[in-house]
Amino acid sequence: MRRAFLYKIFLLLTVSFTVAMPAHAEDGYEAWLRYQPVVEQKLRKAYQQQLRAIITEGNSPTLQAATGELQRGLSGLLAKPVAISEKLSSNALVVGTPASSPLIASLDLSARLSMLGNEGYLIEKARINKRNVTVIAANSDTGVLYGSFHLLRLLQTQQALDNISISSAPKLQHRVINHWDNLNRVIERGYAGLSLWDWGTLPEHKSQRYVDYARINASLGINGTVINNVNADPRVLSDQFLQKIAALADVFRPYGIKVYLSINYNSPRAFGDLDTADPLDPRVAKWWQERTKKVYDYIPDFGGYLVKANSEGQPGPQDYKRNHADGANMLAAALKPYGGIVFWRAFVYHPDIDDRFRGSYDEFKPLDGKFADNVILQVKNGPIDFQPREPYSALFSAMEKTNMMMEFQVTQEYFGFATHLAYQGSLFEESLRTETYVKGEGSTIGNILEGKTFNTKHTGMAAVINPGTDRNWTGHPFVQSSWYAFGRMAWDHSISADVAADEWLRMTFTNDKKFIEPVKQFMLASREAGVNYRSPLGLTHLYSQGDHYGPAPWTANLERPDWTAIYYHRAAKDGIGFNRTKTGSNAVAQYPETLAKQYGDLKTVPEDLLLWFHHVSWDHQMQSGRTLWNELVHKYYDGVEQVRSMQREWEKLESFIDAERFAQVKALLKIQERDAVIWRDSCVLYFQTFSGKPIPAEYEQPKHDLEYYKTLARTRYVPEPWHPASSSRVLK
């Protein structure tokens, strides 16, 4: 008796101790799955009373993952061990599907579950055999897993469970992350260490990190991962790599995550099997059929191929005078028997066209309706390339008969890498809520993606993401917030940037409002700050060629004009901006009429897109009453002030969070402030050589002259160790 009592005390102490003291310091490894004890005592008690045990019937690997996560999460959050039991008891949490669980089946949820598809779930109160319980029910084990993460999120964000009744189902089918990982483990545009995939020790060693990666993604409902770079190494389809990839797929499978591969279009040649990769050559089609069968032999639930073809030097069907549809459909036919998908990227642009903006639309629009039904066109959010602000890619409102999915970027290639704080949730929200008017009001990008506007068969959203071997996965702790926002919005595009940031902060740091409110406010402003100090009012692509980190708006005379900065801003004595109206490249005509009119008219174009569409005189009157020149200067200075205000806010918050993450973010904000000043001064001084106008006296004047900033750009350290630009700078 006494011994049992002592043992109980011991257990209690160890659990509360391990729960309160994570194995590692707060280094970000746990991401938003920290499961720290609920601080508010009353709430914690209520949770303890309502969730006394976990009852799972059925033991598939996915149900085990769900149950394991619930036990881990609840034991942490409730600060007491929560048992898994087979016997029904009052105030238990009952989880399962009608097929796996007689208890769930007894509730007759079938009518409501049938509305939720294969991945949706219900979380609600119920009575089973006269006992009050909480239920997580779904049609599939994966649905149960998603519901489990949702329940944990409710506790992590301190929401009462008393009258809980939630039903949720994803709005998009394919919610996919794209890694740009090379097989040598260098990540293109990664910034957070080496690739997570340790090819040297796979398949024998399956690192715990792979499991934690899968948990993090499953918590958001992400159901696909493309594990290698779109600039693809053909070897990824070799037996030796497929064996390793199969081991990863085994780890991800219980978490509902399918593996996809980026392929190199020239693979039949690279393997030395054929001297052509012409998609209309039957030998090529056969090669892909055989190779694809092999892939499915290794990975029976393989997702499909992602293809970057005839883009930035990658091979593709055009090398054989075939078009993108010919190229994609041949692969689609090879995948079809297994239910596989082709994600065909629309990111193409050619130097011989006078406006890069037009490139992708001009190539793909004529192919609308020509793609097989298991091809999805993967389109970047904007017409150019993940810039801090772009109008939407006109393909979204033009390809009525083609499956399309969004490609966003979480890794901050154009937002200061892993050293700047730039929450991308705001960009995603802006993009998804953009009204295209293509079928009247309500034709938002989100609704188009959902298939509501054009009634397409496949729907989806992808994000290029950068997790690497850095302990906190993403380098800057706040890059995790964009990963989080992406996943939540891929599940439901109506979730706002505000809501996603709120949840993320609560789960990642603390539920204390005094911390959340100021940090959320500056997170929500951080993307605009990044636009302001880099390229306000519709300017774009003012980077040094290749490194994409610092400013070099003077960049000219490269082998391709569309890689220079002057190509995009067109600054001259008479004004600045790219004329894409009827009197210019007329790219504006790619949009539905309402928008083409709005964007094409200087009086109605939104000011934050002004220089995307118009070449405007320096004296042009802006809505603020300032001239364009003064407004431009104002925006650049505002951007720097926004970063300074983030710094000031962060300084006040030391007492709310752990010392480790506090200090890291503080240091990173300092770097960001330094870089923001460099951006501002470089751009303002450079554009001043055209405007000939002063920087108004009320602003702090640049400390250096333009030559100083030009030299700085040539010698700059770029925090991307493996990019050629950081190792072989040419000093002219």
Question: CA 266, CA 284: separation in Å to the nearest integer?
Answer: 10
Collapsed DSSP state (helix, strand, coil) of residue 205: coil
Q: Name the DSSP letter for residue 90.
A: T
Q: Which of 218, 224, 225, 251 is nearest to 32 (CA)?
A: 218
- Our CB check for ligand BDP shows the closer of 347 and 504 to be 347
Sign of CA dihedral 452, 455, 458, 461: negative
Under a CB-based contact definition with an 8 Å cutoff, are residues 132 and 90 in contact? yes
Spell out a b/e string for 268-285, using b for 16 or more CB atoms within 10 Å of the CB, else e: bbbeeebeebbbebeebb
Instruction: Say which of 198, 385, 512, 658 is annotated catalytic.
Output: 385
Cis-peptide, bond into residue 203, ω within 30° of zero: yes
Restricted to residues 403-422, the positions that interact with ligand BDP (CB under 6 A) are 413
Q: Which is nearer to ligand BDP, 252 or 349 (CB)?
A: 349
Q: How far is the CB of 312 from ligand BDP (least distance, A)?
A: 6
| Placement of tokens 């960001």 in the chain | 672
312 is catalytic: yes
Choice from 66, 230, 247, 677 touching ligand BDP (CB under 6 A): 230
Which of 52, 189, 493, 716 forms a contact with ligand BDP (CB under 6 A)? 189
Are the CB atoms for 330 and 279 separated by under 8 Å? Answer: yes
Specify the residue, 312 or 354, whose C-beta has the smaller distance to ligand BDP: 312
Q: In the window 265-324, what residues touch ligand BDP (CB under 6 A)?
A: 308, 312
Compare residues 347 and 437 and give the one whose CB is closer to ligand BDP: 347
Give all strands of the β-sheet with 53-56 in edge-to-edge order.
83-85, 53-56, 92-96, 131-138, 121-128, 165-168
Q: What pairing do the DSSP bridges indicate for beta strands 131-138 and 121-128?
A: antiparallel
How far is CA 678 from its chain centroid?
A: 27
Instruction: Decide if 403 contacts 328 (C-beta within 8 A).
Output: no
Phi, psi of 485 (to 5 degrees): -60, -40
DSSP string, 662-720: HHHHHHHHHHHHHHHHHHHHHHHHHHHHHH--PPPTTSPPPSS-HHHHHHHHHH---S-
Considering 273, 312, 593, 601, which one is annotated as catalytic? Answer: 312
Q: What share of the chain is helix, strand, coil (3-state, %, to 5)?
A: 45, 10, 45
341-345 and 375-380: which strand pairing? parallel
CB 385 to ligand BDP: min, Å: 4
Among positions 119, 188, 278, 363, the unique one binding ligand BDP when judged by CB under 6 A: 188
Closer of 156 and 228 to ligand BDP (Cβ): 228
Element (H, E) at 15: helix 2-20
Minimum distance from residue 723 beta carbon to ligand BDP (Å)? 9
Q: Which is nearer to ligand BDP, 93 or 263 (CB)?
A: 263
The amino acid occupying position 92 is A
The nearest distance, CB 262 to ligand BDP, in angstroms, is 10
Nearer to ligand BDP, 58 or 224 (CB): 224
Measured distance CA(308)–CA(316) in Å, rounded: 8
CB of 405 to ligand BDP, least distance (A): 14
Considering the complex, state which of residue 210 and residue 414 has its C-beta at the smaller distance from ligand BDP: 414
Nearer of residues 26 and 390 to ligand BDP, judged by Cβ? 390
Q: Is 363 a catalytic residue?
A: no
CB atoms within 10 A of CB 565: 24
Minimum CB separation from ligand BDP for residue 264, in Å?
Answer: 13
**Per-residue binder mask for ligand BDP (CB under 6 A), 441-460, x = binder:** --------------------
**Residue 654 falls in the annotated catalytic set:** no
| CA 450 – CA 461 distance, rounded (Å) | 10
- Among the listed residues 26, 69, 390, 413, the single catalytic one is 413
- Three-state SS at 475: coil
Size of the residue set binding ligand BDP (CB under 6 A): 10
**In terms of Cα–Cα distance, which of 205, 208, 242 is closest to 227?**
242
Per CB under 6 A, which of residues 329..368 are in contact with ligand BDP? 347
d(CA 95, CA 505): 28
Cβ within 8 Å of residue 248, ≥6 positions away: 197, 202, 206, 210, 227, 259
Among 213, 260, 265, 386, binds ligand BDP (CB under 6 A): 386
Is 179 a binding residue for ligand BDP by CB under 6 A? The answer is no
For the CB of residue 355, give the shortest distance to ligand BDP in the complex, in Å. Answer: 18
- Helix 628-651 to helix 513-534 angle (10° resolution) is 150
Name the residue nearer to ligand BDP (CB basis): 90 or 231.
231
Q: Is residue 385 at the binding interface for ligand BDP, with CB under 6 A as the rule?
A: yes
**Signed CA dihedral, 87, 93, 96, 97: sign only:** positive
In this complex, which beta carbon is closest to ligand BDP, that of residue 267 or of residue 314?
Answer: 314
Nearer to ligand BDP, 319 or 385 (CB): 385
Q: How far is the CB of 141 from ligand BDP (least distance, A)?
A: 35
- 543 is a contact residue toward ligand BDP (CB under 6 A): no
Residue 591 C-beta: closest distance to ligand BDP, Å: 23
Cβ-closest position to ligand BDP: 385
- We find the least distance from the C-beta atom of residue 52 to ligand BDP, in angstroms, to be 50
Least Å distance, CB 450 to ligand BDP, is: 24
Nearer to ligand BDP, 376 or 669 (CB): 376
Residue 409: CB minimum distance to ligand BDP, A: 8
Q: How many CB atoms lie within 10 A of CB 86?
A: 8
Bridge partners of residue 167, in order along the sequence:
122
| Residue from 90, 91, 231, 521 in contact with ligand BDP (CB under 6 A) | 231
Report which of 397, 421, 433, 427 is spatially closest to residue 409, judged by C-alpha positions: 427
Pairs from 674-678 (Cβ < 8 Å, separation ≥ 24): 675/416, 675/419, 675/420, 675/550, 676/529, 676/533, 676/639, 676/640, 676/643, 677/640, 678/550, 678/551, 678/709, 678/712
Q: Least Å distance between CB 189 and ligand BDP?
A: 5
Q: Which two tokens stand for residue 440?
A: 């009247």
Reported as half-sphere exposure (CB side, CA atoms, 13 A), residue 641 has a value of 8
Q: For residues 533 and 495, what is the distance between their CA atoms, to the nearest angstrom?
A: 28
Residues at the contact surface with ligand BDP, assessed by CB under 6 A: 188-189, 230-231, 308, 312, 347, 385-386, 413
Task: Supply the residues annotated as catalytic.
Answer: 312, 385, 413
